[in-house]
Amino acid sequence: MAQIQSGASADVMTVDPSFKAARVTIRPPEVTGAYRIALRTGTIAAATAAGIMGAFRYTGTGVAVITSVRVGLNVLSGYTQGSIIFSAWITRSYTATETTNYTAATLTGNNAKLRTSHATTSAVCGAATTAGCSGGTGTDDSLAIGSATFNLPATIVGQPVQDLWTSSIQTYPLVLGQNEGFRIRNDTAFAATGTANVVMMIEWFEATAY
């Protein structure tokens, strides 16, 4: 017979009388830091070809665990009616971050931290300016890990944010080692005439191991 007592206090675990279930409180993973960021491209021109709208690279020596990637379209002017697909692609052997048509996010100091006491992130990320960005040297996988489709409307109708990819307690997250990352790509071209900002959200934590 045993009772479970806290090692830090005299508290003893309760077992609920009806279902004979132990009371538990679920805690976040052990992290060096937890982060979120929303990125926004510049005004993406009409008919912009398939390319990279956002990029994320982990440069630390531990791991970056990606728990969600989301994307939406802030439509600025109407398109020749069409549709578009965005996808997230794992990038390996990332030796140089994107440079062309690319605006890097400011991730120094406390930026993007979900708790100020956490360490400054070891990730770098950014968004395209007015066309797909380039200049990064990582190699994308052959297949995407998540995608979302959007309408490109003839009149201004914003396309709310959708999940490109999320993890849960029952699925394995995307775990990035040093110089690994992912890219958010429009896999099809934007339709003619219209313009939009691509809004991207990334949620991750960093840890010494996972």
Please enumerate in sequence order all residues whose Cβ is within 8 A of that of 185, keeping only pairs 6 or more positions apart, or say none.
50, 51, 52, 53, 86, 87, 88, 89, 132, 144
Say if residues 70 and 162 touch (Cβ distance below 8 Å). yes
d(CA 208, CA 210): 7
Say if residues 79 and 89 touch (Cβ distance below 8 Å). no
Say if residues 79 and 154 touch (Cβ distance below 8 Å). yes
158 near another protein, judged by CB under 8 A: yes
Q: Which of 163, 175, 188, 193 binds another protein (CB under 8 A)?
A: 163
Under rule CB under 8 A, how many of the chain's residues touch another protein?
69
105 near another protein, judged by CB under 8 A: yes
24 near another protein, judged by CB under 8 A: yes
Q: How far is the CB of 85 from another protein (least distance, A)?
A: 15
15 near another protein, judged by CB under 8 A: yes
Q: Footprint of another protein on this chain (CB under 8 A)?
A: 1-4, 12-17, 19-29, 31, 34, 36-40, 67-68, 70, 72-76, 105-106, 110-117, 146, 155-163, 165-171, 173, 197, 199, 201, 203, 205
